[in-house]
Structure 1
Amino acid sequence: MPLLAPDAPIGLPAFALSDDQIATVVDLISQGCSAARSNLHAGMLEVPITIVVRKAMRRVKRTLGLTNLQIRGEVELEDMSTNDPTLLGRIDITLQFLHQFGDEDAYVAVECKRVHASEPGLNTRYVTEGVDRFVTSRYAAGHEWGFMLGYVLALPASDVVKAVDSRVRKAYGESAGLVPETPHALSLAVLEGALLQGGSHTIRLKHILVDMLPAAKVSSDQLSAP
């Protein structure tokens, strides 16, 4: 179980994360999704699933006694360099560690998407409406790390990994490919790839796939909904 030091890391930039902090994010996500699964029902879309997951993550955080980070709900992102009222987007889940407090641009971004072994539309949106938002700097501009959370609605997860890996390599190059890492005990897979953000900055993206299929099966019509 990853443990956090009581104080902010000395000299660590606000956009950076230590190995312990990365492990803590993976642990909170994996435990939170596992705890949330019993509260899901067939046909739930991404937004209500994510609300249940966020609440479960907060409960896990309290149980672990982690007081030097906060888990926030959906966050609206604005371009502060202009007076344009258009939003850059809404990140599903964000976390802030103690060394990031006070800087609205410093956070841990977690974008959530449903994926399915035999539903190419969902797996495509994981890339075009998820991964791409990190590449284009809509999310986590200048950050060292971003996180994608895949709600796996049908096994095997390896089919999802193959589909997503093929799409990200084709769209963003070989370095973006999903490299397997040791999975969390409560995850199906943990993978990592490197993306070129804004044409010059490298951001590493951690992909966490979790089993989120409730007891009742989800219909094809419900899966095709955004």
Structure 2
Amino acid sequence: MALLTPDVPFGQPAFALSADQIATVLDLVCRGAQAAQPDIKSGMLEVPTTIVIRKAMRRVKKDLELTNLEIRGEHELEDMAASDATILGRIDITLKFLHQFGNEDAYVAIECKRVGASHSDLNAKYVSNGVDRFVTGQYGSEHQWGFMLGYVLALPVQDVINAIDKRLQTVYGAAAKLTPEAAHTLSLAIFEGALTQKGGHAIRLKHVFVDMTAAADA
């Protein structure tokens, strides 16, 4: 998979991403998930798993000498319309490319959720507590792209995909259907789907599923 080259920053406006940048995000996520495997323990929950993967992504980024983006920790979204300390939510992983620096609203959002075959509750939350945050504009408001990272705790992955795809189409319509993409060698599967945020803005989500059976509850 192609990586971002150290060239003039792509993307105008700041909410847009080039194909090269999208490939870079996917590559870092998949490489990071793989590199984190030795530190993923049985019974590890979503938050500590994400922290381990985020650290691994930073190591991969350093090894690849990618100096034109940042990988950030849990990102708090403040309600700028409120006068108090209201927090709209916390995105699990965010990236910033050079063309997004200086604009606090510009970032690459990666929301992480546990899923698995026969885990109907987790698969449902992938949509209601993950995808829906992009639909409402809570995450990635007016952005061109968003990313969902699914930690697959139980195989086969096709059962997970079928359950999530059915729920997406039931809740958001046929346009949200998961369209298969070429899988990264370190992923189980990658899909893309279209969604409409409040106000009519179209956003596209990349859905990346990685093997995290090592983190399944004992």
TM bracket, shorter-chain basis: over 0.9
> How far apart, in 1, do the equivalents of 2:33 and 2:46 lie?
13
> How far apart, in 2, do the equivalents of 1:217 and 1:16 lie?
36
Per-residue displacement from partner, 1:96-133 (whole Å, max 9, x unpaired)? 00100111100000000000101100000000000000
Q: Relative to 1, partners in 2 of residues 1:66 and 1:166: Cα closer, same or farther, differing over 3 Å? A: same
Q: What residue number does 1:95 align with? A: 95
> How far apart, in 2, do the equivalents of 1:13 and 1:211 lie?
34
> How far apart, in 2, do the equivalents of 1:32 and 1:52 lie?
9
| Identity in percent | 65
Alpha-carbon offset, residue 10 of structure 1: 5.7
> How far apart, in 2, do the equivalents of 1:198 and 1:17 lie?
21
Asked whether the equivalents of residues 8 and 98 of structure 1 are also in contact (C-alpha less than 8 Å), the reply is: no
> How far apart, in 1, do the equivalents of 2:7 and 2:49 lie?
33
Q: What residue number does 2:34 align with? A: 34
> Matches of residues 19-30 of structure 1 in structure 2 within 5 Å?
19-30=19-30
Q: What residue number does 2:133 align with? A: 133
Report the RMSD for the aligned CA atoms in angstroms. 1.3
Paired AA for residue 99 in structure 2: H
Asked whether the equivalents of residues 16 and 145 of structure 2 are also in contact (C-alpha less than 8 Å), the reply is: yes
Instruction: Compare 194-203 and 17-26 and name the one that shifted more.
Output: 194-203
> How far apart, in 2, do the equivalents of 1:167 and 1:13 lie?
32
Q: 5+ unaligned residues in a row in structure 2: which ranges?
A: none
Where in structure 1 do 4 or more consecutive aligned residues deviate above 4 Å?
none
Asked whether the equivalents of residues 3 and 27 of structure 2 are also in contact (C-alpha less than 8 Å), the reply is: no
Q: What residue number does 1:180 align with? A: 180
SS in 1 for 2:168: helix
Please give the TM-score of this superposition, normalised by the length of structure 2: 0.96
Q: Relative to 1, partners in 2 of residues 1:51 and 1:11: Cα closer, same or farther, differing over 3 Å? A: closer
Q: What residue number does 1:222 align with? A: none
For the pair 1:17 / 2:17, whether they are aligned, the reply is yes
Please give the TM-score of this superposition, normalised by the length of structure 1: 0.93
Asked whether the equivalents of residues 8 and 99 of structure 1 are also in contact (C-alpha less than 8 Å), the reply is: no
> How far apart, in 2, do the equivalents of 1:81 and 1:21 lie?
31
Q: Relative to 1, partners in 2 of residues 1:10 and 1:56: Cα closer, same or farther, differing over 3 Å? A: closer
Asked whether the equivalents of residues 145 and 204 of structure 1 are also in contact (C-alpha less than 8 Å), the reply is: yes
SS in 2 for 1:27: helix
For the pair 1:68 / 2:68, whether they are aligned, the reply is yes
Per-residue displacement from partner, 1:18-52 (whole Å, max 9, x unpaired)? 00000000000000001101111111110000000
> How far apart, in 1, do the equivalents of 2:168 and 2:184 lie?
23
> How far apart, in 2, do the equivalents of 1:11 and 1:38 lie?
36
Q: What residue number does 2:212 align with? A: 212
Q: 5+ unaligned residues in a row in structure 1: which ranges?
A: 220-226
SS in 2 for 1:182: coil
For the pair 1:83 / 2:91, whether they are aligned, the reply is no
For the pair 1:144 / 2:144, whether they are aligned, the reply is yes
SS in 1 for 2:94: strand
Per-residue displacement from partner, 1:184-203 (whole Å, max 9, x unpaired)? 00000000000000140000
> How far apart, in 2, do the equivalents of 1:12 and 1:182 lie?
26
SS in 2 for 1:22: helix
> How far apart, in 1, do the equivalents of 2:55 and 2:107 lie?
18
Alpha-carbon offset, residue 85 of structure 1: 2.4
Paired AA for residue 56 in structure 1: A
Aligned residues: 218
> How far apart, in 2, do the equivalents of 1:196 and 1:43 lie?
35
Alpha-carbon offset, residue 83 of structure 1: 1.7
> How far apart, in 2, do the equivalents of 1:47 and 1:143 lie?
25
For the pair 1:58 / 2:58, whether they are aligned, the reply is yes
